[in-house]
Amino acid sequence: MSASVAKEKSMVIQKEMIANHFKALSTAKETGKKVVYTFVPGNISELILAFDMLPVYPEINALQSGMRKKSDGFIQDAEKIGHSEDVCTYVKCDVGMMINGNIGPTGEKIPPPDLLLLSYTGCFTFMKWFENLKRLYPGVPVAMLHTPYQEDKQIKPEMTQYMVKQLKEEVIPKMEQVSGVKYDEEKLKGILRNSSKVEDAILRIFDTTKNRPSPIDAYFAGVYYIGPINSGFRGTAEAVNYYEELYSEIMERVRLGLGPITPEGEMEKERFRLVVEGPPNWTHFREFWKLFYDFGAVIVASSYTKVGGVYDMGFRVDPEKPLDSLADYCMNCYTNLNLEQRIDLLEQCIVDYKADGFLVNSIKSCNSFSAGQLMIMKELERKLEIPVGLIESDLVDPRYFSYSNIKNRLESFFQMLDQRKIILKQ
Amino acid sequence: MESLNQLIKKCEELAFDLDFTRAKQWKSEGEGRVLVGHMPIYFPREIVHAMNGLAVGILGGGDKKQIIRGDAYYQSYICHMPRGIIELALDGHFDGFEGFLFPSICDVIRNLSGMFRILKKGKFVKYMDFPQNFQKHIGGEFYKSELMEIADKISQINQVEFSVERFNESIQLFNKNRQLTNTAYNLRKEAPWKISAAEMYSVIRAGYVIPVEEHNEILEKLIELVNAAEGVPQDKIRVQVIGAFCEQPPLSLIRTIELAGCYIVEDDFLLGSKWIQGDIEADTSDPVGAIVDAYINHSTFSSTVYDVDDPKEYRMLELFKESKGDGIIFAAPSFCDPALLDHPILQSACDKNGIRYISFLFSENTGQFKVIKEQAGTFSDSIKLWDGDMVGLK
Ligand code: SF4
Ligand code: SF4
């Protein structure tokens, strides 16, 4: 492992972007900016930006609380007010944070919402989450945007029409009312032009794992890369700049034949290439990641980085059809794909990025991801005869992270990959 | 004439027949008949009926199906019901079913629909997106297109053409079923000592797996027999049970609650049977529109439906008041996000209104009831003790 962990320029840019965003949130009251709470999958940030409002993503706050070791207390506080041990820990972490003064990840207070935008995409818990928040913030309007599921492996015209009608008659009027700004389609188109550039760049970035060694880890580092698109920057010029910078840095690594950067420096020898399904654990993120890079395992593709939008299958926003595009974007998020589509996509990743194995990190909290994962494993094993493995953890509840358990399972999995390599060589 | 006991026994056999014998027999009795399985909670069975089909409720394997392969499809922290359903599917219990419908109630059911597709069960598998927008021209129109798609899928199998007349007839039959179901429930609410909650449960559940015409006859008989029954009121509290709308509690759990000193006078078991409140218009040129209208405007409340403009806690309180309840039992399936995430909302409404409640978790295959019995017994005793008079006779 190389010792240097110098910050790349893109990291500095991202840090600044996020810090500025939280600064803007903490001063929203003074500046008069309206605040919209919404979710990552199917987030229609472009529309929020078109009304000059500021988005807040409770999921991002929850994961940040997990990384900063605060989620434990928040979850227990939520359980004290009646939340079950059995439900999604993001919800409990968020509720706990709220009843503890809503101090966000940067230590600044997050303002209460002026609008709850329930972009109900690929997860039922979102609805329950906001039903709870609605009671904690009485009087705050809720705009529901129901995203139909791609149950038949396609987006049918009725589905898009349903969503566009909701945008026109439910979401936009509520945004106009809350922000006091009139809907301006030309402005939205301009924002979407940036989104389309960002989508292209994202795809190019995650495609660099085709190289050997892979210049990036598409899961552990990947979650940082998707930070800006998942936290409100998708249609901004800053995002275009950030992703172009990131891409050129990665291409430089490719040119130099370098592997991914880890928290302990550069990973020198790539031993295993994996595709991972499921979100990561946040409470022990560093230890979790280390378990992989210590074994020389690099993640060449992950489903989690597609949670806020899937671009691999050809989807791009069309700025000339802004509302249709937003609708289709929502319907194309990873967890809104049906099980067969998820399998097809993962299969494509395994083949394209020449993975040696497929691993599921099954999250106790998250039925949206977890229900069906064992079937996904069975199918991929059957179709590709590839080694598959399963580890279990949670997003932000440290009670469900067992280091030794995960380590044992990973060790056996890597042994299996080694053996397979020997067999394939023979 | 059959006695009440005989009728109930027959219903129990029908309701828990995991081979769906009566449904399969019905299919074999006529040309072009199709069986369409549907998962909880609610599905407008009128659509299937009007297309010469029988919509068969699939409510899991309960405590009657041993899980051998189902656990290999679901991690331990996912509710029990889907593993029972997969087990039934893998063991061929649904052989002969043409289609499967998965109403959009949660992520588990959503992904179960994908498993059925991969396992190539039936001739069609449809995940049914119920709208969460309740405006007729938005959510209503979308819902209509979903329903028409189902009618089309059935038509492709049996070549039955869409007919307004047949749809209106089907709606009438199901209106009658809803009326009779309500009458039966009301009888129980008024005199819960005449028929137990577990018995009533079996009668209503039988309706999920047999033709509606036959169930209507059963309900008519039941009402007659219950009216004629006498029974002795007991010193029990009146409770509302909430949270069991999808995965069903084992019959013994329902019995346990009653044996522990509680009359269950309101519940959300088999919620689909009372989903639509009142009649659906049955004399119209747009019967599917009428079904849509009923869903949009006359649905009951549920953990799976967006409720912001019609808060569920008030609707729960209304039901509680109507049923002259003494307390509420929150009984939810383990790991059921929709049910469990409602608890803080509903329980805080109880706290604000001075309603006493207890809460526990179950699985459809729960076999030990000692703890639940003690909890329900203590609950009943405490209410009786503190409320003074004989609560069961209110
Ligand atoms: S269930 Fe999963 S997707 Fe849904 S809110 Fe929780 S973590 Fe997010
Ligand atoms: S019991 Fe709850 S989580 Fe399980 S399938 Fe039913 S609604 Fe979904």
Of the listed ligands, the closest to the CA of A333 is 1
- What pLDDT score does A312 carry? 87
Question: A83 to chain B: which residues are within 8 Å by CB?
Answer: 340-341, 343-344
Q: For residue A49, how far is the Cα from the chain centroid? A: 19
Contact with chain A for residue B351, Cβ under 8 A: no
Please report residues of B whose CB lies closer than 8 A to that of A162.
131, 133, 138-139, 141-142
Q: Is residue A383 within 8 angstroms of chain B, CB to CB?
A: no
The confidence score (pLDDT) of residue B388 equals: 53
Mean pLDDT of chain B: 95
Q: Enumerate residues 48 to 87 of chain A having a beta carbon within 8 A of any beta carbon in chain B.
A: 81-84, 86-87
When CB atoms are compared, the residue of A81, A132, A371 closest to B111 is A371
State mean pLDDT over A258-271. 94
ipTM of the complex: 0.94
Q: Which amino acid is at A385?
A: E
Number of H helices, E strands in chain A: 19, 10
* Structural domain includes residue B181: no
Atom of ligand 2 nearest to the CA of B303: 7
Q: Quick one: closest CA in A to B107, which residue?
A: A368
Sequence letter at residue A329: Y
| Residues of chain A contacting residue B142, judged by C-beta atoms under 8 Å apart | 148, 158-159, 161-162
**Termini Cα distance of chain A:** 30
Q: Is A90 in the pocket of ligand 1 (CB under 6 A)?
A: yes
Over range A7-34, report the average pLDDT.
92
Please give the pLDDT value at position A46.
97
Chain B residues within an 8 Å CB radius of A96: none
| Residue in A118, A94, A112 with CA at minimum distance from that of residue A396 | A94
Confidence of residue A83 (pLDDT cuts 50, 70, 90): very high
For residue B124, give the nearest of B146, B153, B148 by alpha carbon.
B153
* pLDDT tens-place string over residues A161-197: 999 999 999 999 999 999 999 999 999 999 999 999 9
Query: Which stretches of A88-224 are assigned E, i.e. beta strand?
Result: 115-120, 142-146
Q: How confident is the model at residue A260 (pLDDT cuts 50, 70, 90)?
A: very high
The minimal CB distance from A87 to the residues B108, B131, B337 is found for B337
- Do the Cβ atoms of B75 and A118 come within 8 Å? no
Q: Is A136 on the interface with B (CB under 8 A)?
A: no
Indicate which ligand has the atom closest to the C-alpha of B362. Answer: 2
| pLDDT number for residue A5 | 53
Q: CB of A295 within 8 A of CB of A217?
A: no
Kindly state the percentage of chain B with pLDDT values over 90: 95
Decide if A165 touches B, using CB distance below 8 A.
yes
- Please enumerate in sequence order all residues whose Cβ is within 8 A of that of B126, keeping only pairs 6 or more positions apart, or say none: A151, A152, B99, B100, B101, B102, B113, B149, B150, B153
Q: Taking the CA atoms of chain B, what radius of gyration do you get in angstroms?
A: 20
Domain membership of residue B121 (yes or no) is yes
For the residues A296-312, what does the mean pLDDT come to?
Answer: 95
Q: Which of A125, A162, A375 sits opposite B341 (nearest CB)?
A: A125
Q: For B310, which residue in chain A has the nearest alpha carbon? A: A131
Nearest Cα to Cα of residue A128 among A116, A139, A111, A110: A116
Cβ-Cβ contacts under 8 Å for A152 (sequence gap 6 or more): A338, B126
| pLDDT confidence of residue B194 | 97
Q: Residue B46: name the closest of B157, B135, B163, B124 by CA.
A: B163
In contact, A224 and A14? CB cutoff 8 Å:
yes
In a domain, B25, yes or no: yes
| Count of other CB atoms within 10 angstroms of residue B221 | 16
Phi, psi (degrees; rounded to nearest 5) at A278: 105, 155
Pairing of strands B237-242, B99-103: unpaired
Nearest ligand for residue B78 CA: 2
Residue A75 with chain B: CB contacts under 8 Å: none
Mean pLDDT of B232-245: 96
A262: helix, strand or coil: strand
Question: According to the model, what pLDDT value does residue B390 have?
Answer: 43
Task: Specify the CATH number for the domain of residue B61.
Answer: 3.40.50.11890
Contacts of A317 (CB under 8 A, 6+ apart): A192, A195, A196, A199, A325, A326, A328, A329
In a domain, B345, yes or no: no
The region, left, alpha or beta by phi > 0 then psi within -120 to 50, assigned to residue A181 is beta
Of B107, B117, B332, the CB nearest to A367: B107
Q: Where are the domains of chain A?
A: 9-183
Q: Specify the 3-state DSSP secondary structure of A121.
A: coil
- The pocket around ligand 2, CB under 6 angstroms, is made up of B 79, 81-82, 105-106, 108-109, 246-247, 333, 336-339
B132 in contact with A, Cβ within 8 Å: yes
B334 touches chain A (CB under 8 A): yes
Q: What is residue A92's predicted lDDT score, i.e. its pLDDT?
A: 97
Per residue in B131-178, pLDDT (tens digit) is 999 999 999 999 999 999 999 999 999 999 999 999 999 999 999 999
Residue in B107, B340, B348 nearest the CB of A124: B107
User: Tokens at residue B147, please?
Assistant: 């329903």
pLDDT in tens, A123-166: 999 999 999 999 999 999 999 999 999 999 999 999 999 999 99
Please indicate whether, in this complex, the C-beta atoms of B141 and A134 are within 8 angstroms of each other. no
A368: chain B residues, CB-CB within 8 Å: 107
Q: What is the mean pLDDT of residues A112-122?
A: 96
User: Residue A365: its pLDDT value, please?
Assistant: 87
Asked if residues A28 and A113 have their Cβ atoms less than 8 Å apart, the reply is no
pLDDT given for residue A107 in this prediction: 85
Strand pairing category for B53-57 and B99-103:
unpaired
- DSSP, collapsed to helix, strand or coil, labels residue A46 as helix
Contact A370 B75 (CB under 8 A): yes
Q: Are strands A388-393 and A357-363 parallel, antiparallel or unpaired?
A: parallel
Residue B385 has pLDDT above 90, yes or no: no
Ligand 1, residue A395: give the atom nearest the CA. 7
- CA–CA separation, B273 vs A293, rounded Å? 55
Q: Which two tokens stand for residue B99?
A: 């289609």
What one-character-per-residue DSSP string does A187-215 give? HHHHHHHHHHHHHHHHHHHHHGGGSSS-S
Can you tell me the distance from the alpha carbon of A136 to that of A99, in angstroms, rounded to the nearest whole number?
Answer: 9
| Rounded distance between C-alpha atoms, residue B394 and residue B385, angstroms | 15
pLDDT at A233 over 80: yes
Question: What pLDDT does B337 receive?
Answer: 96
Is residue A253 over pLDDT 90?
Answer: yes
Q: Are B114 and A339 in contact (CB under 8 A)?
A: yes
Closest listed ligand to the CA of A396: 1
Token pair 């920057």: residue: A233
Determine contact: B69 vs chain A, CB below 8 A.
no
Please indicate if any CB of chain A lies within 8 Å of the CB of B118: yes
pLDDT for B394 equals 38
**What's the mean pLDDT in B226-230?**
95
Strand partners, B267: B241
pLDDT of A313: 85
- Best probe residue, ligand 2, of B104, B107, B108, B364 (max atoms within 8 Å of C-beta): B108
How far apart are the CA of A366 and the centre of ligand 1, in A? 5
The answer to whether the Cβ–Cβ distance between A371 and B304 falls below 8 Å is no
Q: Is the CB of A74 under 6 A from ligand 1?
A: no
Determine the Cα–Cα distance for residues B64 and B167; give it in Å rounded to an integer: 36
User: What is the tally of structural domains in chain B?
Assistant: 1
Bridge-based pairing of strands A261-262 and A265-266 is antiparallel
Average pLDDT over residues B262-288: 97
pLDDT tier, A6 (very low <50, low <70, confident <90, very high otherwise):
low
Closest approach atom of ligand 2 to CA B339 = 2
Q: Does the Cβ of A281 fall within 6 Å of ligand 1?
A: no
pLDDT of residue A136: 93
Q: Is A379 on the interface with B (CB under 8 A)?
A: yes
Q: What mean pLDDT do residues A246-273 have?
A: 96
pLDDT reading at A407 higher than 60: yes
Fold of A9-183: Rossmann fold (3.40.50)
CA A300 from centroid of its chain's CA atoms: 16
Q: What is the DSSP string of A279-325?
A: PPPSTTHHHHHHHHHTTTEEEEEESGGGTT---TTS----TTSHHHH
